[in-house]
Chain A
Amino acid sequence: MKCKVCKGPALIDVRRHNANFCSDHFIRYCREQVSKTLKEFDMAEPGDRLLVAVSGGKDSFAVWDILESLGFDTNGLYVGLGIGEYSDTSGQYVRDFATGRNLPLTEIDLRSTYDYDVPTASAVTRRVPCSACGLSKRHVFDKECRKGNFDAIVTGHNLDDEAAVLYGNVLRWQTDYLGRQRPMLPALNGFPKKIKPLVRLSERETAAYCVLRGIDYLVEECPMAAGNKHLSYKAALNLIEEESPGSKQAFYFGFLRDAVDRFDLTTSDPNQDRSDVATEDSPILSPCIECGSPTNVETCSFCRLLRRASGAKPVPVELIRKKY
C-alpha cells in the first residue's frame, strides 16, 4: 500500500476516495477536509472564537486539535454527565488533553451545578438516557456559548454520525428533524451558531487521526449507549458502505445538496414545544420564564427536566442500563 501523495509506505486507506496515505499526508488530508468544510458551509473565519464541546472521545479531540492547527481561537467545554466511572474517566482524559496542550477548558458538572445527573434524569423523566443527555448538553452548550460570547459552538459529529441520523430520520420520515440536519446552523432567535466541521471525515478517519497524532482518547463506549438505534443504523450503513464505498458520503451530501431545503421548519406546527431539540427556526420564540433561553412554550424543556430531576434521589447507572 503506497501513499497517494508521496508514494511512500501508507498506513491508512480511505476507500471512498480510493486513496491510501502515510501518516503526514493523512493528517494533512484530515485538516484539508475540515478547512474545506469550514469554508463550504460558512462555519467559521480566521479570528473566530470557537467553543469546542469535548467528551474525551476521538471525534471531539480530533476537531479540537484540527481547529487549533488551523489557527482558531478555541476553548473546550466539558459537561460532567454523572454517568458513574465512565464520566470520571472521560473527564480525566479531557483535562489531560487540555493541560498537555495548554488549551483553555470550561467544565460544567451537572450534579454540582444543577443537582442531578443523566441516570437520575432518565429515571425520573422516563426519557431514554441519550435523550436526557442530549437535552442537558444542548442547554449547557448554548448557555456557555452565549455567556462567553463565542462565535460558534463546535461539536465533533462526523460523517458516520450524520449519515446514521439522516438514515433514522428518513426511515421514520421525521420531516421536522430533516429540515434542521445541516452541518451549520446560524445564530438565530437567541440560539448560538452551531457547527460540525468533521462531516467530511468518517469515524475511522477521526480515530486514525488521533492515533497518528498521539492523542490519547477514551475508547470505551458510554455504558448507556449500548443498544441504541443510532448504532444499529450505523451497522446497516456500514454493510452498504462495505459493498459500495462512498455510499454514506453520497447519501448525506446528496441530501444537503438536493433535499434539506424541502424540509424547512417554518412549515412545522408552531404550537409544538420544540425547545428540547433546540430549533432555531421555530416561528414563535420567547425567553423561558425560568432560565431565559429561547423557547416556544412558557418553560423550556430543560427547565421542565430540571424541575423533576434536580434534588431527586440519585439513581445508579446500573439500574438504567438494565431498563434500556
Chain B
Amino acid sequence: MKVLLRNPSREVDMNGPISVVKLLNRLEMSRQEVLVIQNGTLVPGDAMLAEDAIVEVRPVISGG
C-alpha cells in the first residue's frame, strides 16, 4: 500500500493489509496528532487498510 506523508510531502510503501492503529504505530505517529484519509474521507482507527490502498496520513498540528 502507498502512504502519503506531509511536511515534507513524501510517499512510502508499506505492507498491507494493516489496521490504521498498527500503521500509525509503525510510522511512530500519535493517532491524536494525525488524520488518516482515503478517497477524500476519514478512516477510523479500527479500520483495516487493504494491500492496494492509497492513504494519506495528514498532520493536524500547526505552529500558528
Chain B residues within 8 Å of chain A by Cβ, number: 22
Contacts of A40 in B (CB 8 A): none
- In the assembled complex, A58 has its CB within 8 A of some CB on chain B: yes
Contacts of A234 in B (CB 8 A): 61
**How would residues 21 to 44 of chain B score, 1 for a CB under 8 Å from any chain A CB and 0 otherwise?**
000000000101101010011111
Residues of B contacting A: mostly: loop
User: CA of A235 to CA of B33 in the docked complex: distance in angstroms?
Assistant: 9
| A207 B45 Cβ-Cβ under 8 A | no
Contacts of A59 in B (CB 8 A): 62, 64
| B32 A15 Cβ-Cβ under 8 A | yes
- In the assembled complex, A250 has its CB within 8 A of some CB on chain B: no
User: CA of A130 to CA of B63 in the docked complex: distance in angstroms?
Assistant: 10
Distance in angstroms from A323 CB to nearest chain B CB is: 17
In chain B between 4 and 58, which residues have their CB closer than 8 angstroms to a CB of chain A? 6-7, 9, 30, 32-33, 35, 37, 40-46, 58
Instruction: Please classify how large the interface on chain A is, using the bins under 10, 10 to 19, 20 to 34, 35 or more.
Output: 35 or more
Quick one: which of B41, B44, B59, B60 has the most chain A CB within 10 A? B60
User: CA of A12 to CA of B63 in the docked complex: distance in angstroms?
Assistant: 23
4 further interface pairs, Cβ-Cβ under 8 Å (given A1-B45, A225-B62, A230-B64): A55-B64, A130-B63, A219-B59, A242-B32
Binding site for B on A (CB under 8 A): 1, 9-13, 15, 20, 23, 55, 57-59, 130, 157, 160-161, 203-204, 206-208, 211-212, 214, 219-222, 225-226, 228, 230-231, 234-235, 238, 241-242
